[in-house]
Amino acid sequence: MRKLHFMKFLLLVLTCVLVGCSNNAKSTEQYIPIRAYVMQESEEPIKPIVSLEDSNKFTFTYSVLSSYIAIGSYEVDDGNLILKTDDGKYKYVFKIKGDNLIFNATESSEIPTFANVPDGAIFK
């Protein structure tokens, strides 16, 4: 009888361990403050800005010369902030580094040439 209880206990412990180990879904959730991030190094009169809002919404203004304001939703994936416009036309990717966003032009949709947002631009 004692051996049977020990086997049940061992089976229970083993089950708990296996369930805990099988939950290896990588956690890509990273905290990012909801606020405005400004490209401080820009010499434009109105600097490029990424504004994160509640419910994973954003606006991205990259030039006063552009009539297009990128509006849509964002997600955080593997240390990157990914902005996708509601019209489905554009995607902008930023590396999250501390409290800063670093623009990744390679992974992003092309920004018009009159807007000066180079690869690696830091938004603080």
> pLDDT tens-digit profile of 64-92?
999 999 999 999 999 999 999 999 999 99
Query: Is pLDDT at 20 greater than 60 in this prediction?
Result: no
CATH number at residue 77: 2.40.128
How many distinct structural domains can be found in the chain?
Answer: 1
Does residue 21 lie within any of the structural domains?
no
Helix (H), strand (E) at residue 31: none
- Res 59: pLDDT: 98
Does residue 49 lie within any of the structural domains?
yes
Residues 22, 25, 27: CA angle, nearest 5 degrees: 135
Does residue 112 lie within any of the structural domains?
yes
Domain range for 81: 36-123
Contacts 24+ apart (CB under 8 A), 10-16: none
Does residue 31 lie within any of the structural domains?
no
Does residue 15 lie within any of the structural domains?
no
Does residue 99 lie within any of the structural domains?
yes
- Is pTM beyond 0.85? Reply is no
Collapse the DSSP code of 55 into the 3-class scheme (helix H, G, I; strand E, B; otherwise coil) and give the result: helix
Query: Is pLDDT at 23 greater than 90 in this prediction?
Result: no
First to last CA, the chain: 66
- Res 31: pLDDT: 78
Tell me what the mean pLDDT of segment 11-25 comes to: 48
Task: Please state, in angstroms and rounded to a whole number, the distance separating the CA atoms of residues 117 and 61.
Answer: 11
Does residue 105 lie within any of the structural domains?
yes
Contacts 24+ apart (CB under 8 A), 106-114: 107/80, 111/62, 112/62, 112/63, 112/65, 112/66, 114/63, 114/65, 114/66
